[in-house]
Amino acid sequence: MLEGLNTPVAKELLQSKVPARLAFQGVSGQPHVAAIWFVWRNSNIIVCSGRESHKVRGIRKYPDVELTIDTDTVPYKSLRIRGTAAIEDTDGICPEYIEAAHHYYGEELGQKWIDWFANVVPSMSRITIEPTWVQAMDFKTFFSDVFS
């Protein structure tokens, strides 16, 4: 595991309810960013999306991605991760997507979302991102002259 993933900032943000912002190239090669739920598992980031989604089609063609998880209050905390994505197609809803729905929305609303979503998206892709570079930053510490 990369050293930056063992920092207090990384541990906090990887367990938070802050969605990641996933940067990827679309099939045309143009850059895109999407807010997305994630699960941290076995030193990898796992995100899920509809099998035919713009994200999945772009990442199949260009598997190098970056994501950020940032707080929105000053002084900020930020985690940036670059990595290579591997895609696995699944039938139905990915278990990690169900886990993420419950994590972000709570049990009741998360299940309501999953019940609705299962009727809209018949198949998904699990996108596993293996980190190759990490930057964890606590602005209070990094810019201590300003935020002391």
The pLDDT tens digits for 35-71 are: 999 999 999 999 999 999 999 999 999 999 999 999 9
| pTM, rounded to two decimals | 0.94
Give the whole-angstrom CA distance, residue 80 versus residue 66: 7
Give the whole-angstrom CA distance, residue 133 versus residue 124: 27
Average pLDDT on 14-37 reads 97
Residue 1 is predicted with a pLDDT of: 75
Question: Is the CATH number 2.30.110.10 carried by domain 3-139?
Answer: yes
Please name the residues in contact with 108: beta carbons below 8 A apart, sequence gap of 6 or more: none
- Peptide bond before residue 95 is cis, with ω within 30 degrees of 0: no
